[in-house]
């Protein structure tokens, strides 16, 4: 029989072990979020297809046709946009879902114990499923354009993971802060809306003048999106290495900060929520 | 002697709450703006330093629990009793690791499941079947465990017809039954239960209490918060009495309950003094006494109580009547009890003087619940000298009669024990189940 000791401000040694022990809860919470997602909607799962498609159409028209921005190499502009839409919506959905997750599950937090990290982590699964649907659309478009990816394509899973981690870090931080200060629930939609335009989603990051690229890469999603384009569009796109390393460092920093802040505040959630 | 599974030492939990100070007089818009600016500045400062936002201007530390130490052995069923705000729920929350203590230490050996609410995490859009899995996992069961007990849970909840209906379409009774059925099939080594049995219809409540009793008999440790003294007495050998965050005693369940009731006796008013009304006959005091003659407003259901009316009559009055009516908690009149039936006739003259009139209500007569008394001195249909509506109240408390399982349910206001005669129609024999 295991004995646990409860004491004030004591970081538990078996926290990560506990996290593993509660894996079924993680799965069932993710499944719950997924299955209630499109309940009582008419077109249901079609929403997951329509939203990115329509955004892509609008961006292609505005940036590609009206603004006349160049594509990467000879890749079709629609593909250029969609290859960036995928990681961006993965990031923004995951960030939005996870940052409101603790508040949305306040009833659980006040009534049962489990490692709270499970809640924001489970919401990210929903964003990931949407991503997979988007990815199938991308595959269809590549077939339509007779566009075959190059060898770089094998690195794609790495960039998917990177995009998830990029959202998890700030997501954890914000959701924990959200418990104390509800201001953050109003900040996130703003950040996401804003981020769509300052990240290279509707245009190629080559458009940014050379001298500004490092500063531009302070937005961690720049590295991730460039990586996606590099994988999908092959030789047409390149990665700006210093910028990419900077993005990588920032993602790691935010992830570490997010987890440690979350862990620190975790024990007071039930009292504050 | 079985081993200790929960050992708490010097447990304390502090909360900080804010109060809004009330500034008298009128407030100018300028003051309000200034005040808002100041609080916003303060809150921003708090945010930067990571302090929680506290609404209000003054802060107060409140110890919800202080210096609580106890030991609980394996297989013990322990009741936790105390008034609202005594710290019962806080204690359970700390034990179940939902919130952490401010001081002290607890060592717990074994798998803990806490049941602080029925149906935690139920999602209205999901079906009954899906919610069984969801809720079961949240309460700490594994998928395999739920699968194994699934049929049992469904049978217990009596919802098999609606398993694939979203629970938002359930009646509230069905919802609660399903929720409790899942919880009842938890098999932890230590079970923490907050006031959750006070739900559902009487029959289901009885079933739940039975299930709880089984859990305790199987050698699991149960901690059980309830206001239902009958249930505590029935299920628990030991009981913990909390008062204002402190542990008063942990002892035999009967002793702790007796102490709890006598505490609340001292605290509550069982007597009311009344000022003269200016008429020629009026009440001066009304009091409720228990069987030992103490003034008190909580009465054990099995013991008698006495209601005493003190009144003054300033001049002899022809045909005077002193009477009272008893009302239940829903405001329905249970009975009307006039004095004339026992001593006076209406045509007689009531001499002036000071009087005390008492009526004894026998034990096992009024059902547990809250009652109020209206009293009057009058000439029926002619003149009212003093009429007091719902002037005093008392509570009949369940302390382990055969009706304990129905606590909180409407079983009427009067307890009866009338014999039933049952004849089987097929063979004409009288039936006796004993």
Q: Cα–Cα distance between B250 and B69 in angstroms, integer?
A: 10
Mean pLDDT of the A258-268 span: 87
For the stretch A28-50, what's the b/e string if a residue is b when 16 or more beta carbons lie within 10 angstroms of its beta carbon? bbbbbbeeebeeeeeeeeeebee
Q: Is B284 helix (H, G, I), strand (E, B) or coil?
A: strand
Q: Cα–Cα distance between B291 and A248 in angstroms, integer?
A: 79
Decide if A205 contacts A260 (C-beta within 8 A): no
Is the ipTM above a cut-off of 0.90?
no
Mean pLDDT of the A32-37 span: 88
Q: Cα–Cα distance between B245 and B87 in angstroms, integer?
A: 5
Give pLDDT, residue A256: 95
Q: How many contacts does A have with B, using Cβ atoms within 8 A?
A: 101
Mean pLDDT estimate for chain A: 87
Mean pLDDT of the A208-225 span: 88
What does the pLDDT profile of chain B (434 residues) look like in tens digits?
A: 578 889 999 999 988 876 665 555 566 677 777 777 877 787 777 776 666 666 666 677 888 899 999 999 988 889 998 877 788 888 999 998 888 888 998 998 888 888 888 778 889 889 999 999 999 999 888 999 999 999 999 998 888 889 999 999 998 888 888 888 888 888 888 888 887 665 556 667 677 777 777 777 787 888 888 877 777 877 888 899 998 888 888 888 888 887 877 665 555 577 888 877 778 899 999 999 988 888 888 888 888 999 999 999 998 888 888 999 998 877 778 899 998 877 656 567 888 899 999 999 998 899 888 888 889 998 888 888 888 877 888 888 877 666 666 555 667 888 888 888 888 888 877 777 65
Strand partners, B6: B72, B108
- Which of A24, A114, A181 comes nearest B143 by C-beta? A24
Q: Does B14 touch chain A (CB under 8 A)?
A: no
> Which residue has 């505040």 as its token pair?
A265
Cβ contact A267–B99 (<8 Å): yes
Cβ contact B103–A107 (<8 Å): no
Instruction: State the pLDDT confidence band at A205, using cuts at 50, 70 and 90.
Output: confident
CA distances to A112, A259, B120 from A270, in Å: 9, 18, 14
Decide if B211 contacts B58 (C-beta within 8 A): no
Residue B366 is given by DSSP the state B
Chain B residues with beta carbon closer than 8 angstroms to that of A33: none
DSSP E strands, B341-401: 349-350, 353-361, 369-379, 383-397
Mean pLDDT of the A235-261 span: 88
Q: Cα–Cα distance between B128 and B134 in angstroms, integer?
A: 10
Chain B residues with beta carbon closer than 8 angstroms to that of A5: 105-108
Q: Cα–Cα distance between A166 and B50 in angstroms, integer?
A: 24
Task: Quote the minimal CA–CA distance from B146 to chain A in Å.
Answer: 12
Give pLDDT, residue B158: 86
B333 phi and psi angles, rounded to 5 deg: -75, 130
pLDDT, tens digit, 9 for 90 and up, residues A79-103: 889 999 999 999 999 999 999 999 9
Q: Cα–Cα distance between B75 and B237 in angstroms, integer?
A: 10
Instruction: State the pLDDT confidence band at A143, using cuts at 50, 70 and 90.
Output: very high
Q: Does B139 touch chain A (CB under 8 A)?
A: yes
Q: Cα–Cα distance between B247 and B243 in angstroms, integer?
A: 6
Give pLDDT, residue B26: 60
Q: Does B9 touch chain A (CB under 8 A)?
A: no
Give pLDDT, residue B119: 79
Strands B321-327, B77-81: parallel, antiparallel or unpaired by DSSP?
unpaired
Chain B residues with beta carbon closer than 8 angstroms to that of A39: 125
Decide if A35 contacts B129 (C-beta within 8 A): no
Q: Cα–Cα distance between B93 and B107 in angstroms, integer?
A: 14
Decide if A86 contacts A134 (C-beta within 8 A): yes
Q: Cα–Cα distance between A254 and A244 in angstroms, integer?
A: 15
Give pLDDT, residue B62: 84
Q: Is B39 helix (H, G, I), strand (E, B) or coil?
A: helix
Task: Quote the minimal CA–CA distance from B392 to chain A in Å.
Answer: 39
Q: Is A190 left (phi over 0), alpha (psi -120 to 50) or beta?
A: alpha
Nearest chain A residue to B116, by CA = A111
Q: Cα–Cα distance between B207 and B211 in angstroms, integer?
A: 6
Task: Quote the minimal CA–CA distance from B104 to chain A in Å.
Answer: 6
Decide if B384 contacts B378 (C-beta within 8 A): yes
A interface test, pick of B5, B52, B92, B119 with most A CB neighbours within 10 Å: B52
Chain B residues with beta carbon closer than 8 angstroms to that of A178: none
pLDDT, tens digit, 9 for 90 and up, residues A103-142: 999 889 988 888 899 999 999 999 999 999 999 999 999 9
List, as ranges, residues 184-203 from B with C-beta within 8 Å of A: 189
Domain boundaries defined on chain A: 20-272
- CA-based nearest residue to B159, from B198, B129, B197: B129
Q: Does B10 touch chain A (CB under 8 A)?
A: no
Q: Does A273 touch chain B (CB under 8 A)?
A: no
Q: Does B127 touch chain A (CB under 8 A)?
A: no
Instruction: State the pLDDT confidence band at A28, using cuts at 50, 70 and 90.
Output: very high
Chain A residues with beta carbon closer than 8 angstroms to that of B94: 6
Q: Cα–Cα distance between B252 and B79 in angstroms, integer?
A: 10
Mean pLDDT of the A249-266 span: 91
């Amino acid at each position: 029989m295991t004995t646990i000791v409860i004491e004030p401000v004591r970081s538990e040694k078996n926290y990560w072990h506990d996290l593993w022990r509660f894996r079924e809860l993680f799965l069932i919470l993710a499944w719950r979020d997924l299955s209630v997602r499109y309940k009582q909607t008419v077109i249901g799962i079609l929403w997951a297809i329509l939203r990115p498609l329509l955004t892509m159409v609008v961006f292609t028209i505005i940036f590609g046709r009206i603004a006349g921005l160049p594509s990467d190499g000879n890749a079709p502009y629609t593909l250029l946009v969609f290859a960036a839409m995928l990681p961006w919506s993965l990031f923004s959905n995951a960030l939005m879902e996870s940052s409101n997750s603790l508040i949305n599950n306040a009833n659980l937090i006040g009534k049962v114990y489990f490692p709270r990290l499970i809640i924001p982590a489970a919401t990210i699964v929903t964003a990931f499923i949407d991503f997979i649907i988007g990815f199938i659309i991308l595959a269809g478009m590549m077939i339509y354009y007779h566009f075959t990816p190059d060898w770089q394509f094998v690195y794609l899973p790495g960039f998917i993971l990177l995009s998830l981690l990029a959202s998890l870090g700030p997501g954890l931080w914000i959701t924990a802060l959200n418990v104390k200060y509800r201001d953050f629930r109003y900040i996130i939609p703003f950040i996401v809306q804003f981020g769509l335009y300052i990240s290279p989603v509707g245009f190629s990051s080559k458009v940014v003048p050379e001298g500004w690229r490092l500063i531009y890469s302070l937005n961690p999603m720049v590295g991730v999106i460039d990586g996606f384009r590099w994988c999908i569009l092959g030789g047409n796109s390149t990665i700006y290495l210093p910028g990419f390393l900077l993005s990588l460092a920032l993602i790691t920093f935010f992830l570490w900060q997010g987890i440690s802040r979350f862990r620190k505040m975790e024990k007071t959630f039930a009292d504050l929520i | 002697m079985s081993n200790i599974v929960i050992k708490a030492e010097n447990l304390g939990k502090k909360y900080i709450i804010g109060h809004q100070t009330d500034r008298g007089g009128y407030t100018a818009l300028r003051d309000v703006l200034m005040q808002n600016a100041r609080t916003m500045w303060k809150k921003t400062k708090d945010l930067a330093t990571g302090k929680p936002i506290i609404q209000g201007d003054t802060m107060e530390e409140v110890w919800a629990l202080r210096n609580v130490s106890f030991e609980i052995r394996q297989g013990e069923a322990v009741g936790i009793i105390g008034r609202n705000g005594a710290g019962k729920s806080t204690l359970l929350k700390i034990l179940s690791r939902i919130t952490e203590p401010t001081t002290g230490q607890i060592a717990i050996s074994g798998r803990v499941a806490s049941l602080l609410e029925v149906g935690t995490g139920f999602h209205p859009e999901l079906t009954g079947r899906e919610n069984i899995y969801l809720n079961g996992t949240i309460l700490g069961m594994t998928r395999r465990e739920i699968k194994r007990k699934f049929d049992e849970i469904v049978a217990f909840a009596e919802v098999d017809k609606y398993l694939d209906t979203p629970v938002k379409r359930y009646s509230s009774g069905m919802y609660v039954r399903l929720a409790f059925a899942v919880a009842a099939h938890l098999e932890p080594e230590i079970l923490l239960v907050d006031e959750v049995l006070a739900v559902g219809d009487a029959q289901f409540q009885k079933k739940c209490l039975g299930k709880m009793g089984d859990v305790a008999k199987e050698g699991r440790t149960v901690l059980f918060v309830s206001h239902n003294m009958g249930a505590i007495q029935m299920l628990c050998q030991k009981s913990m009495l909390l008062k204002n965050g402190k542990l008063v005693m942990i002892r035999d369940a009967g002793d702790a309950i007796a102490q709890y009731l006598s505490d609340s006796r001292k605290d509550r008013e069982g007597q009311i003094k009344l000022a003269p009304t200016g008429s020629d006959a009026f009440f001066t005091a009304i009091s409720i006494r228990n069987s030992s003659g103490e003034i008190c407003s909580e009465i054990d259901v099995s013991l008698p109580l006495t209601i005493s009316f003190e009144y003054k009559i300033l001049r002899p009055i022809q045909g005077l009547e002193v009477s009272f009516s008893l009302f239940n908690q829903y405001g329905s009149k249970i009975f009307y009890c006039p004095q004339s039936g026992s001593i006076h006739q209406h045509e007689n003259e009531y001499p002036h003087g000071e009087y005390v009139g008492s009526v004894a209500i026998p034990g096992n007569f009024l059902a547990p619940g809250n009652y109020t008394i209206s009293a009057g001195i009058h000439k029926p249909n002619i003149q009212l000298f003093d009429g007091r509506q719902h002037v005093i109240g008392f509570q009949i408390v369940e302390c382990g009669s055969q009706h304990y399982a129905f606590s909180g349910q409407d079983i009427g206001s009067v307890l009866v024990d009338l014999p039933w005669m049952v004849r089987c129609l097929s063979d004409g024999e009288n039936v006796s189940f004993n």
